[in-house]
Amino acid sequence: MTLSILGIDIAKLKFNVCLINSSGKLRHKVFPNTATGFEQLKAWLLHQGVEQVHACMEATGTYGEALALFLHQAGQRVSVINPAVVKAFAQSRLSRTKTDRVDAELIARFCLLQQPPAWTPPAREVRELQALVRRPESLVEMRVMEENRLSSGVTVEAVRQSVEEHLAYLNEQIKSTEELIRKHINSHLTLKAQSELLDSIPGIAETTAALLLSEITDITQYRSARQVAAYAGLVPRERQSGSSVRGRTRLSKIGNARLRRALYFPAITALRCSPFFQAWAEGLRQRGKSKMSVIGAAMRKLIHLAYGVLKTGKPFDPQWAKSA
């Protein structure tokens, strides 16, 4: 049976949908991005005579997670795709107009032509871990804002006291959330075992391990370590054309930015403290790689090793890691 196609353009407060039914006709509709809006979408689809759809949306942070989960639990086929893929598809069609309505139709047509793979939601404990791990990121951003405000010179004593109290509260919340993350991991045997495996890798401690587990979510969906590195935007991107264009090879940076940020300092630590990484990096330097290229390669090596220990269920071993 050929499924009807549902392209979804997600925003914070609403989402636009474009339905391509079995006869090829297009139907557009806008719904609030709330639980009520999800039910309205379900009722609208039934009103259109559609029971089963292949829904497709971009991976745009947290805005679409609840809707994707709702559709999956309703028995619909859901695909969550990289926004860069849709952008490239729009460019290939010479699309010059960008509105929510047009974007929803673009996503629907991409889904119709490419038939992207179905998305499977992470296990509940992983979704909870992801929410917990992302919370300190917001708290640290607020703390930096308050620290900047304080360092800029607050002249009113009452305001200064208020900022200092807020800073103390934020520090307390960061510590509290970190403890919640630790307890959550320790209360789930699979997460605890995976965290211990990641902790065996030089440069990776419990904080980075928790973020890796929350962002990679399910290691079985990747067929190779290179796929995980591509998801993190850590694969090299060459820029060469003919004999005149020979740009430097750089990281693609098309992927999960949280993973890249999380692996930067662990890569530096591994290069500074681990004999394995030091010997490995020396070979890169002898081939003329720059300092930043070596750090980028170390970040990619860490994600390869993370894939290896999680896939095999065995802790880091310098011998097999040489080929990872």
Domain for residue 205, yes or no? Answer: no
Out of 87, 114, 141, pick the residue that ends a domain.
114
187-195: long-range pairs with CB below 8 Å, 24+? 188/125, 190/125, 191/125, 191/126, 191/129, 193/313, 194/310
| Range(s) of the domain holding residue 52 | 4-114
Domain for residue 203, yes or no? Answer: no
User: What's the structural domain count of the chain?
Assistant: 3
**Helix (H/G/I), strand (E/B), else coil: 88:** helix
Residue 3: its pLDDT value, please?
A: 85
Q: Which strand (E) or helix (H) includes residue 245?
A: strand 245-251
Q: How far apart are CA 198 and CA 315, in angstroms?
A: 7
Of 88, 70, 90, the residue nearest 78 (C-alpha): 70
In sign, the C-alpha dihedral spanning 241, 242, 243, 244 is negative
Claim to verify: residue 130 and residue 52 sit in the same structural domain: no
Domain for residue 268, yes or no? Answer: yes
Claim to verify: residue 110 and residue 134 sit in the same structural domain: no
Out of 68, 88, 114, pick the residue that ends a domain.
114
Q: What are the C-alpha distances in Å from 229 to residues 28, 83, 196, 239, 257?
A: 37, 17, 21, 19, 12
Domain for residue 202, yes or no? Answer: no
Claim to verify: residue 11 and residue 97 sit in the same structural domain: yes
Q: How far apart are CA 313 and CA 320, in angstroms?
A: 13
Claim to verify: residue 21 and residue 77 sit in the same structural domain: yes
Q: How far apart are CA 127 and CA 113, in angstroms?
A: 31
Can you give the pTM of this predicted structure? 0.81
Per-residue tokens: 118: 């179905």
Claim to verify: residue 104 and residue 177 sit in the same structural domain: no
Residue 83: its pLDDT value, please?
A: 84
Claim to verify: residue 182 and residue 242 sit in the same structural domain: no
pLDDT < 50 regions, the chain: 241, 244-245
In sign, the C-alpha dihedral spanning 233, 130, 267, 199 is negative
Domain for residue 244, yes or no? Answer: yes
Residue 245: its pLDDT value, please?
A: 43
Residue 67: its pLDDT value, please?
A: 95
Domain for residue 200, yes or no? Answer: no
CATH of the domain at 76: 3.30.420.40
What is the per-residue pLDDT across 196-234, written as a single tens digit (0 to 9) for each? Answer: 999 999 999 999 999 999 998 888 788 889 988 888 888
